[in-house]
Structure 1
Amino acid sequence: PFPTTGMTGGEIEVLGYRGMKEYEISFDEFEVPASNLLGETEGMGFRHLMATFESARIQTAARAIGVGQNAFELGLKYALDREQFGRAIFEFPRVANKLVMMAAELIGVRQLTYYSARQKDSGKRCDLEAGMAKLLGARVAWAAADNAVQIHGGNGFALEYPVSRVLQDARILNIFEGAGEVQAMVIARRLVEKGN
């Protein structure tokens, strides 16, 4: 049930990221009182929405780091616990190398995200850095989740293992707050504008 007349819709079932609900909403003869006008002046709502993108992209980068860190921790635990040929699979270079790259990539994107957040907190423009943190964070989270599933082998594809859900959760990060392709175009324009 929606709180007011003129709104209809319902929840959309999604592949992953189930903690954040998705809804389809339709408006039919829905009226917004003038006192609720976003931007205080008609036609300014979009400008106010655009002003939220830096923060939203920093937040998405932070969420991506959390998903990637979870994937890393699950992969590391499994690699240390799972034995093949009388030793932990962590001792096999291809497994250890996957974990090393996960750790290194997570540190890098975490630092870029911290930098973006500090810029934002200082009132400085950071759309370039926030966009890069979001784009890279989403890619790092997906790679970490994919590698953690690979470390688990067939078990990683089983729903009983939490790593399968982490893979599902990682997928949306490259879509919301600007799809990766769109994010890359925005970054490219800013690079030219900034003269880097």
Structure 2
Amino acid sequence: MPEIIFSGPAGRLEGRYQPGKTDTAPVALILHPHPQYGGTMDNKVTYYLYHAFAHRGFATLRFNFRGVGRSQGEFDNGTGELSDAASALDWLQSMNENSTGTWIAGFSFGAWIGMQLLMRRPEIKGFISVAPPANLYDFSFLAPCPSSGLIIQADQDDLVTPISVQKLVEKLKAQKSITIHHDNIKGANHFFESELNQLMTSVNNYLNKRLTAGD
């Protein structure tokens, strides 16, 4: 799990990178929760998502948004963080020019950033969004959502209201040509502190299904 530093819009960005198992391995970018509330690339959910992809041979990158850890810059209310994510994906793709696919996964604030990046990068063919903060941020940009993916919510989340996630899922499921899988983790709070195993069972089952289908 080599530590890396790469250039971002506001200076250097700090990350952890696991090369793919083959020259044509797909790539996956993992995005962490809100920087102003303790979110870093070492957040447990972010860390577990990273290893779910790395374990399957993906070239996988997680990194700290600007102003977090050794990443330069200051928090920019999502605008700069989206630019950071785009730069991270550029770096990841430059390291894997023969990659056969691109995925993105994010937790909370990172899910919001990830789904914005999804709209700007048509090569992203799959996503995992854990606790997307649909009651805190506007997700209307997903019109239409260009890729199929998995949305996971915690039914005891005190930050992201389950009903707001349900409404987002219903909106996306109404769109044609994509499939949205939705899992609700019983008893889990926003950070899935006691339900990480259940969370990752959902993630792993979904990835196994998509990858077995050759997607």
TM-score (norm 2): 0.24
Q: Which has the higher contact order (CA 8 A, sep 6+)?
A: 1
TM-score (norm 1): 0.25
Which structure carries more helix by proportion? 1
Q: Whose radius of gyration is greater, 1 or 2?
A: 1
Which structure carries more strand by proportion? 2
